[in-house]
C-alpha cells in the first residue's frame, strides 16, 4: 500500500519525537511491504518565524492532499510570556483543527503492565484502566467570540454549541461504545451551563437509537475526582472542548507519564494523529523527551487511517517490549539508565 502522510513536526520537542515516529513507521512499512511518502510542512512558532503565519496555506494544502497528518507539538515560551502577542503558535493548531474539520479528538488512557508502579496512583486503583475520551475539538469556548471591553478592563470568551455539533460528536461516542464495553459517560456541567443542558438533552434524545449502550451523565467536577479514584470504572467519555482538554491531561498521568498517550483527531474528510503532550520547551533539542506518545499516535494512524491493524499492533508490541526491557527515556528511567530519545527510536525500529 502507498501511504501519503503530511508531517508536521511543529515546535519544541516536536521535531525530535516526530523523527522517532518516522523511523518506526518506516520500519513497519518495510516489514509489511508498504511505501510511505512523507511530506513535511511548517506549523506553529517555526512557521511564524519562517513565514509569519502559524498555519500557512501551503501547510493546509499539504494536509488536505495527504491521506493522514502526523503532528508533533506546538507552542513556544516566548509567546507564553507575552500575552500581547497578536500572532500565537496555538492559533495555528486551532485553525488547523477548524479548517480540516477535525471535530472529534479521540484520547485513550490505558496502563502498561510494566509501568503500573510508575503511576502516582495506587496499583489497585488503576489496574485495568482502559478508557477513551472523545473531546469535541472545533467548538465551545475555544472558538466562541472573545474580546475585551471597558477599555480593556473586562474580558470575555463565549462558549457556544449547536445541537448539530453535539450530535455528531455524541454519535461517534455511541458508535465507539458499541465496539467496546457499551458504556458511555456524558461529562458536562448541566447544573450551571446552558450549553451543557443542550449537550445532555441531545445525548438523552439519542439514547433510544443505541439501546444497548448504558449512558451516564456526570458533572465535570465529579468526573475530575472519580478519574483519579476509580479510573477503571469508565469506558467511553464524551465531553466539550475545554473540559476535554483539562480532563485528558489529568487522565494521562494514570499511565505513569504524559509522554505516553497518543491521540487521533477525526472529522469527515481528514485525520490527524498527535501526542497529547505539548511542546515541552525545557527539553527541546536535548534528545531526552519521551517519543512513545508520538510513536503510539503513528500506530493509531496505521489502524484508523489505513485499516492496517497488524502494523499498528506491531508498533504496540514493540513499545511494550521496550518498556519491559527498560529501554526508556529519563521520565521513566528512575534510578536506571536513561536512553536518549533517538536511542529509543533506533531500538524500536530495529526490533520491529
Ligand atoms: C491540546 C493542547 C492545545 C489545546 C493547545 C496547545 C492549544 O493543550 O491539544 O490539548 O488546548 O487544545
Ligand atoms: Mn491540552
DSSP 39-65: EE---HHHHHHHHS-SS-HHHHHHHHH
Whether residue 158 is found in the same domain as residue 89? no
Q: Would you say the CB of residue 11 lies under 6 angstroms from ligand 1?
A: no
Which residue puts its alpha carbon closest to atom 4 of ligand 1?
Answer: 245
Using DSSP, state whether 66 is helix, strand or coil: coil
Asked if 161 and 201 touch (Cβ cutoff 8 Å), the reply is no
Q: In the listed set 224, 255, 286, which residue is the last one of a domain according to the structure?
A: 255
Q: Is the CB of 173 under 6 A from ligand 1?
A: no
Residues 337 and 275 in one domain: yes
Q: Find where cell 496512583 sits.
A: 121
Do residues 242 and 139 share a domain? Answer: yes
Best of 76, 274, 278 for a ligand 1 pocket test (most atoms within 8 Å of beta carbon): 278
Query: Of all atoms in ligand 1, which is nearest to the CA of residue 73?
Result: 6
Q: Are residues 289 and 236 in the same domain?
A: no
Residues in the chain: 352
Number of the ligand closest to the Cα of 74: 1
Return the ligand 1 atom nearest residue 97 CA: 12
Q: Are residues 270 and 203 in the same domain?
A: no
For ligand 1, atom 12: residue with the closest CA: 245
* DSSP calls for 20-44: HHHHHHHHHHHHHT-EEEEEE---H
Number of domains in the chain: 2
Q: Is residue 115 domain-resident?
A: no
Phi and psi at residue 187, to the nearest 5°: -100, 120
Is 207 a domain residue? yes
pLDDT of residue 256: 86
The one-digit pLDDT tens for each residue of the chain (352 residues) are 999 999 999 999 999 999 999 999 999 999 999 999 999 999 999 999 999 999 999 999 999 999 999 999 999 999 988 888 889 999 999 999 999 999 999 999 999 988 998 899 999 999 999 999 999 999 999 999 999 999 999 999 999 999 999 999 999 999 999 999 999 999 999 999 999 999 999 999 999 999 999 999 999 999 999 999 999 999 999 999 999 999 999 999 899 888 899 999 999 999 999 999 999 999 999 999 999 999 999 999 999 999 999 999 999 999 999 999 999 999 999 889 999 999 999 999 999 9
Q: What is the torsion angle, in degrees rounded to the nearest 10, for the CA atoms of residue 104, residue 109, residue 112 and residue 115?
A: 130
Residue 132 is part of a domain; what is its CATH number?
3.40.718.10
Domain end marker among 255, 284, 300: 255
Ligand in nearest proximity to the CA of 280: 1
Residues 330 and 302 in one domain: yes
* Amino acid 292: pLDDT: 98
Alpha-carbon gap, residue 108 to 303, rounded angstroms: 14
Among the listed residues 241, 179, 178, the one whose alpha carbon sits nearest the alpha carbon of residue 215: 178
DSSP per residue over 118-184, as a string? GSSS-HHHHTT-EEEEEEE-SSGGGTS-EEEETTTTEEEE-----HHHHHHHHHHHHHHHHTTTSEE
The three three-digit cell numbers of residue 322, written as one number = 521496550
Given a contact cutoff of 8 angstroms between Cβ atoms, the answer to whether 128 and 232 are in contact is yes
Q: 114 in a domain, yes or no?
A: no
Cα distances (angstroms) measured from residue 45 to each of 58, 87, 184: 16, 9, 37
Task: Mark whether 129 and 80 lie in a shared domain.
Answer: no
Please give the Cα distance from 289 to 264 (Å, whole number). Answer: 20
Predicted pLDDT at 105? 97
Q: 93 CB under 6 A from ligand 1? A: yes
Query: Residue 229: which H helix or E strand, with range?
Result: helix 220-229
The answer to whether the beta carbons of residues 23 and 349 sit under 8 Å apart is yes
- What span, in angstroms and rounded, lies between the C-alpha atoms of 183 and 177? 6
| Residue 306 and residue 201 share a domain | no
CA distance 69 to 2: 15
Q: Which domain holds residue 90?
A: 1-103+263-352
Half-sphere exposure of 185 (CA within 13 A, CB side): 22
Specify whether 269 is located in the same domain as 148. no
- SS3 (DSSP) at 83: coil
Q: Which residues are catalytic?
A: 142, 189, 221, 245, 249
Q: How far is the CA of 351 from the centre of ligand 2 (A)?
A: 32
Regarding the beta carbon of 75 and ligand 1, being less than 6 Å apart is answered yes
Question: Cα separation of 277 and 165, whole Å?
Answer: 25
Amino acid at each position: 500500500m502507498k501511504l501519503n502522510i503530511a508531517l508536521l513536526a511543529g515546535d519544541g520537542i516536536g521535531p525530535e519525537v516526530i523523527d522517532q515516529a518516522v523511523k518506526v513507521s518506516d520500519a513497519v512499512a518495510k516489514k509489511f511491504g508498504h511505501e510511505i511518502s512523507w511530506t513535511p510542512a511548517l506549523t506553529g512558532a517555526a512557521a511564524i518565524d519562517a513565514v509569519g503565519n502559524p498555519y500557512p496555506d501551503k501547510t493546509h494544502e499539504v494536509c488536505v492532499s495527504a491521506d493522514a497528518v502526523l503532528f508533533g507539538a506546538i507552542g513556544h515560551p516566548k509567546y507564553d510570556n507575552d500575552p500581547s502577542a497578536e500572532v500565537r503558535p496555538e492559533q495555528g493548531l486551532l485553525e488547523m483543527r477548524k479548517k480540516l474539520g477535525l471535530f472529534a479528538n479521540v484520547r485513550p488512557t490505558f496502563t502498561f503492565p510494566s509501568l503500573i508502579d510508575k503511576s502516582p496512583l495506587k496499583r489497585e486503583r488503576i489496574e485495568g484502566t482502559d478508557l477513551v475520551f472523545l473531546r469535541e475539538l472545533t467548538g465551545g469556548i475555544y472558538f466562541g467570540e472573545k474580546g475585551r471591553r471597558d477599555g480593556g478592563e473586562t474580558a470575555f470568551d463565549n462558549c457556544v454549541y449547536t445541537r448539530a455539533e453535539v450530535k455528531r460528536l455524541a454519535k461517534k461516542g455511541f458508535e465507539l461504545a458499541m465496539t467496546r464495553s457499551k458504556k458511555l459517560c456524558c461529562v458536562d456541567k448541566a447544573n450551571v451551563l446552558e450549553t451543557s443542558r443542550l449537550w445532555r438533552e441531545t445525548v438523552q434524545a439519542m439514547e433510544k437509537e443505541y439501546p444497548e449502550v448504558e449512558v451516564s451523565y456526570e458533572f465535570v467536577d465529579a468526573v475530575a475526582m472519580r478519574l483519579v479514584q476509580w479510573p477503571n470504572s469508565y469506558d467511553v467519555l464524551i465531553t466539550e472542548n475545554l473540559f476535554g482538554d483539562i480532563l485528558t491531561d489529568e487522565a494521562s498521568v494514570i499511565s505513569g507519564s504524559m509522554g505516553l498517550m497518543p491521540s487521533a483527531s477525526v472529522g469527515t474528510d481528514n485525520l490527524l494523529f498527535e501526542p497529547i503532550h505539548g511542546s515541552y520547551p525545557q527539553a527541546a533539542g536535548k534528545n531526552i523527551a519521551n517519543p512513545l506518545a508520538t510513536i503510539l499516535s503513528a500506530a493509531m494512524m496505521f489502524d484508523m487511517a489505513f485499516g492496517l491493524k497488524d502494523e499498528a499492533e506491531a508498533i504496540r508490541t514493540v513499545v511494550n517490549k521496550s518498556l519491559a526491557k527498560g529501554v526508556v527515556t529519563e521520565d521513566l528511567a528512575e534510578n536506571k539508565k536513561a536512553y536518549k530519545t533517538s536511542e529509543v527510536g533506533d531500538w524500536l525500529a530495529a526490533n520491529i
